[in-house]
A and B are shown apart, each in its own frame.
Chain A
């Protein structure tokens, strides 16, 4: 399968713990996006990378959140000191570039903070 993959698919953690998610984009795609989606809502933009450069961050991305794409391939999203409000589906998407280029989404990581 050469689509976008995300790991883990599900994560249950206790409040205050740190979690890290991984996204592997489609190999030739230079843009990578992170979104958060809560139940009954559409995805909300968090941040995106062009190659290894993080070009934009949403105000939703508090200082507890950090994302990296060190070699311009896979990306990680870390949440420190998790809160119950962080419970959501975290989606990763990749695209060849901007404009009409389609964003291909991964299956998401479902985070539950207890």
Chain B
């Protein structure tokens, strides 16, 4: 079983609308959690990184939250733009060996 589960697998949203992506993880002990954006055919680009003591982090229209007790994170996209169409990958770092566990990604398609 994957240590990082993301939902929904994919979603389509209208330009200008908001959406929220979910990430549940079982990695323990946990060091930090990252959200990456990956455009089709490109490498992932970091959006946010949070340690267990941080429960929210913003990067422009992207806001990530973290609940280390329930092992859940979310990424909220505000006022979506066509350029937000991408895969959003949740990545959890294992404390100690620093190995990264990747989710499969949330595929977001923004339509005009």
Taking Cβ atoms with an 8 Å cutoff, the residues of A that contact B are: 4, 6, 40-45, 89, 91, 93, 98-100, 102-108, 110
Contact = CB atoms under 8 A, between A and B. Distances in A.
B3 to A, nearest CB: 11
Interface residues of B, number: 23
B98 interface: yes
Most buried by A among B34, B42, B44, B46: B44
B70 to A, nearest CB: 21
9 contacts: A41-B104, A42-B105, A43-B44, A45-B100, A93-B43, A99-B93, A100-B32, A107-B43, A110-B41
Contacts of A110: 41
Contacts of B93: 99-100
Main secondary structure of the interface of A (DSSP, over half): loop
Interface string B8-36: 00000000000000000000000110101
Interface pairs A-B: 5 shortest CB-CB: A42-B102, A105-B43, A98-B98, A105-B44, A107-B43
Interface in B55-112: 89, 91, 93, 98-100, 102-105
Given A103-B100, A108-B41, A110-B41, 13 more contacts: A6-B43, A42-B4, A42-B102, A42-B103, A91-B44, A93-B43, A100-B31, A100-B49, A103-B46, A105-B45, A106-B43, A107-B42, A108-B43
A111 B89 CA distance: 21
A59 B58 CA distance: 36
A40 B103 CA distance: 10
B100 to A, nearest CB: 7
Name which of A6, A43, A91, A93 has the most chain B CB atoms within 10 A of its CB. Answer: A43
